Structure 1
Amino acid sequence: MGKMSAAATKIDLEKFRLRRFVERMVEMGEMDVRDEPVALTRLSEIIEGTPKGVLFRKAGPEQVEIAAKVLGGRARIAAAFDTTVDKFGDEYHKRMATPQEVVEIPSGDAPVHEVVMTGKDVDLTKLPFHPQHEFDGSCYLSSGIDYTIDPETGRTNVGSRRLSLRNRNTTGTNVTAPSDLKRIYQGCVKRGEKLPITFTIGSHPLDMFAATSRRPGDEISLVAQFRGEPAAVVKSITNDILVPADAEATLEGYLDENGYVELEGPFGEFFGYYGAIHKDPVFHCTAITMRRDAMYQTLLHGSAFSLDQSDGAVMSAMRTEAEAMKILRATVREPIAVHMRETSGGSCTLLVSMRQRIVGEARSAIAALFGGMLRLKHIMVFDEDIDVFNDKQVGWALGTRFQADRDLIVLQGMMGMSQDPSLDGRRTGAKAGFDCTRPFGCDGQIPFTRCAAKVFKPSAKFKSVEEALRSEPMYYAQIVEALGSDDGRDVACALDELRQAGGLGRDRDGRYHLMSAKPGTTGIVGELYHDPNVGT
């Protein structure tokens, strides 16, 4: 990859800047703006207590700008992809299927290198690390995106990690969860080598999608791929790692060769519980670079009853929905919608609605989703009449269409998310599928038809009940509508006249028919359904 000047690349170094995206979110009404000075100790309570994203204009004694929960809402993430929430899945897959190039530019052209501090000028204590959860082990920068080069393959790895402040030039970080970075670092420790690493602090939401995706090849290209166009990168000042040239700030340095030696945590994790204190490597900072007007970023991470606003849960939920719909379209004939609940961390409980065309399709969907998506723990499948984004409808269908001995599918010994506290330290656990669909082939049967008020649209197609029933069997409300009645009692009386004359019948679903019957009684067309009260 040869260097090109920023002008020669024709890449807009402001378009995917965090500040520009935040300004757009303010215009959309997605961000609350706090113009007053706010102490660092107050940030998290404000962030957690505000449904929108938050822009602090004067945070901490340095009065820096910090944007919070930039990814903590579906409309925000859709806007980052220049689409709408309902079309997000299609846009996500379009970008993932379209490779884009990265172009290296000189340091002098990179906005993130407008200010460079090395050596004795490095002072992490001047950056807005702030307390995030009550029992955390330190103050944190939670929005770090890490860039490393695997010494064995030369491949760039991109991930996302928190940093906990220790002193002017070192922090803790978390490299214990299964990841490529963990594998790369453990290899370095075995060889007695440091691992160079650069963190960006303050990035466009699309860069966070790149950081939390795992794909074959050099992952720096994911930054451009998610942006949907070429991306400018710049070599770090004190190592050879390429990072987005339009980031707000970077922290360069290395993870030392001593391995997992320092205690880190606790920290509020994405499931809403604390990750226990554990040993981790130490990050040594060799350079801080930033834009002259850098805007910092913080995430809402792991606040138990606010997970529907947390950056990670919303991002994971929308990504999971997109991937799940792709699997369903290849598995069943007519998937309708999917909804991953952010309140379960954005990775546990997936709701699916579909129209079953053959017996067993709901179970086929459950099997395919568990097979294709490790992070899923519970899958609930509903009929097409259920809005899976409506908890009232979901609760109603779960309560009335699901029988545990018939419709519960339990898979044991399954790999899950290692940080799931319900595993209690185990490597494997159980997953459950809930078939909340009606018995196949029962569409139109009255015992399986949900009831609601009739919205009448009088059309006066017929002059009498008898004339209406000559056209076809009808429900009572259909007759009222077909006669243009705005009362209904007249229809009830007219039906009784037919009954008294021995000309009225009803089928098991309740429709009225013209038929010969014993005068004064209603005839029965066909067989009735089983009466559930028989024998009680």
Structure 2
Amino acid sequence: MGLREFMNELKERGDLVEIDDPVSSDLDACRIAREIERPILFKNLSGMRACINLISSREILSRVLGVEPDKIAPRLADLPLKGEVRIVDDSPAREVIRRADLSTLPIMRFFERDGGAYITAGIIVTEFDGVRNASFHRMMVIGKNKVVARLVPPRHTYMLHKKAKEQGKGLKVGIVIGPDPVILFAAATRVEPGREFEYASALRGGPVELFRLDNGICVPHAEIVLEGEIERDECAREGPFVDITGTYDRVRLEPVITLDKIYHREDPIYHSIIPGGMEHQLLMGVPYEPVILRGVRHVADARNVILTRGGCTYLHAAISIRKVREGDGKNAIIAAFAAAPSLKQVVVVDEDIDILDPIELEYAIATRVRWDEDLVMVRGARGSSLDPSAAEDGTSTKVGIDATKPLGRRGAFERVTS
């Protein structure tokens, strides 16, 4: 399913808001999108069609993945990482090919203190020494055909660029905007190096097609593709930029990408992700849920995991287990922190608690926790660089709450149902 087909599906379900009036990509579109919090199609965003809040809820993401909202982590945890990738000769994205000029795209400035206009839904596809990678990177516009991209060490794009530099080369890229939403999710997931498109094929249940850009990089069909190269030595200041917690990340020197060409469909739809918004949080956080579930399964009968919205879908986790031994809850806490080091808080509950319901989670804490016995505290642990409360050295205190029922007193916790 392409982006257009997915948006048509959203429209048929009554989920899509369409805005006909002209809207500026400088601050105005972000303000409107934050107020509406639903998928939006701007028909004239600085002169072009654009979508925002595309995957703005767990329910919409579940439709992308073809699974119920409460079954996402179990489904992904058990998904075989194998699929078919085909290289094809042509693509709708090649309907128009022109010299790169970023001023022709409705690239958004989101907040007053932003360092500039940012491409936020761009998937950078790279290939080096026979290995292909696809991943999200924020890119700040610094010129008509130049952006500065945040490359996080030691992640794959950073390492490929480092290897290219060691050989005296830049790193060729294709920047994909507006592909199949399944590919968005796959590119946000950390899989084995070079297997993002195989993972997308497994999610989709069918082959993923790639086509070759003129610089040799193979990319999936999309609304817009930018062709260029991450410069070997040129860097620029990147930021300020609002990250997943809704707070500003710090300014850094980052590599510059010089763009040569823009490929796009006739009347393309530009896709943008609101920094710190629900789409940002879901795409960045949900891929960790199956990772945590697999990790906890090593020590307990784990049934489900969710990263909670109040924890920015990144810092706080709720885990459902079938408790069979005393201590299972605490082991689950430790395993979760090991599986996802960015976690700051973990709550473990029994199967009868709906972990998607924050009231249910609070109920479990209120009625099943003895704070002197059921609290696990880890001081001085490395946490997330995105946590504004972390110390300067990146450490913080992590808390686990074992909100499971004692095995010997389960009858005392039985809830009235009728």
- Establish whether TM, by shorter chain, passes 0.5: yes
| Shift in Å, 1:290 | 0.5
Q: Distance in 2 between matches of 1:336 and 1:253?
A: 44
Q: Is the 8 A contact 2:322 2:351 kept in 1?
A: yes
- Partner residue of 1:521? none
Q: Deviations over 1:196-235 (max 9, x none)?
A: 1110111222112221222224234334333321111111
Give 1:124-143 correspondences, 5 Å limit. Answer: 124-143=102-121
SS in structure 1 at match of 2:232: coil
Which has the larger strand fraction? 2
One-letter identity of the residue aligned with 1:168: K
Q: Is the 8 A contact 2:74 2:304 kept in 1?
A: no
One-letter identity of the residue aligned with 1:311: E
Q: Distance in 1 between matches of 2:254 and 2:401?
A: 39
Give 1:207-246 correspondences, 5 Å limit. Answer: 207-219=183-195, 220-237=197-214, 239-244=215-220, 246=221
One-letter identity of the residue aligned with 1:227: R
Give 1:149-160 correspondences, 5 Å limit. Answer: 149-150=127-128, 153-160=129-136
The TM-score normalised by the length of structure 2 is: 0.92
Q: Distance in 2 between matches of 1:36 and 1:380?
A: 46
Q: Is the 8 A contact 1:101 1:231 kept in 2?
A: yes
* C-alpha spacing 1:288/1:352, structure 2 compared with 1 (3 Å): same
Q: Distance in 2 between matches of 1:82 and 1:365?
A: 28
Q: Distance in 1 between matches of 2:172 and 2:265?
A: 22
The TM-score normalised by the length of structure 1 is: 0.73
Give 1:195-214 correspondences, 5 Å limit. Answer: 195-214=171-190
Give 1:2-41 correspondences, 5 Å limit. Answer: 16-41=1-26
Equivalent residue in structure 2 for 1:311, among 279, 284, 291: 279
Gaps in structure 2 of 5+ consecutive residues? none
Q: Distance in 2 between matches of 1:436 and 1:93?
A: 24
- Partner residue of 1:440? 407
Q: Distance in 2 between matches of 1:444 and 1:76?
A: 38
Equivalent residue in structure 2 for 1:49, among 35, 42, 45: 35
Q: Distance in 2 between matches of 1:164 and 1:316?
A: 19
2:54 equivalent to 1:86: no
2:63 equivalent to 1:99: no
Q: Deviations over 1:149-178 (max 9, x none)?
A: 13xx32011110122222221112212454
2:271 equivalent to 1:272: no
Q: Distance in 2 between matches of 1:88 and 1:387?
A: 14
* C-alpha spacing 1:223/1:437, structure 2 compared with 1 (3 Å): closer
Q: Is the 8 A contact 2:188 2:283 kept in 1?
A: no
Identical-pair percentage: 26
Greater RCO, 1 or 2 (C-alpha within 8 Å, sep 6+): 2
Q: Distance in 2 between matches of 1:383 and 1:230?
A: 39
Cα RMSD over matched residues? 2.2
Q: Deviations over 1:34-93 (max 9, x none)?
A: 122222231000111112111111111x2x111112122112111112332234334434
Equivalent residue in structure 2 for 1:123, among 89, 101, 104: 101
One-letter identity of the residue aligned with 1:26: K
One-letter identity of the residue aligned with 2:224: A
Q: Distance in 1 between matches of 2:206 and 2:53?
A: 25
* C-alpha spacing 1:83/1:132, structure 2 compared with 1 (3 Å): same
Gaps in structure 1 of 5+ consecutive residues? 1-15, 456-536
2:95 equivalent to 1:114: yes
| Shift in Å, 1:342 | 2.3
2:61 equivalent to 1:77: yes
Q: Distance in 1 between matches of 2:402 and 2:200?
A: 39
- Partner residue of 2:162? 186
Report the structure number with the largest CA radius of gyration.
1
* C-alpha spacing 1:97/1:56, structure 2 compared with 1 (3 Å): same
| Shift in Å, 1:327 | 3.9
SS in structure 2 at match of 1:138: coil
Q: Distance in 2 between matches of 1:354 and 1:93?
A: 15
Q: Deviations over 1:342-387 (max 9, x none)?
A: 2322121111233422211111221222222333221111233433
Q: Distance in 1 between matches of 2:77 and 2:12?
A: 28
| Shift in Å, 1:401 | 3.0
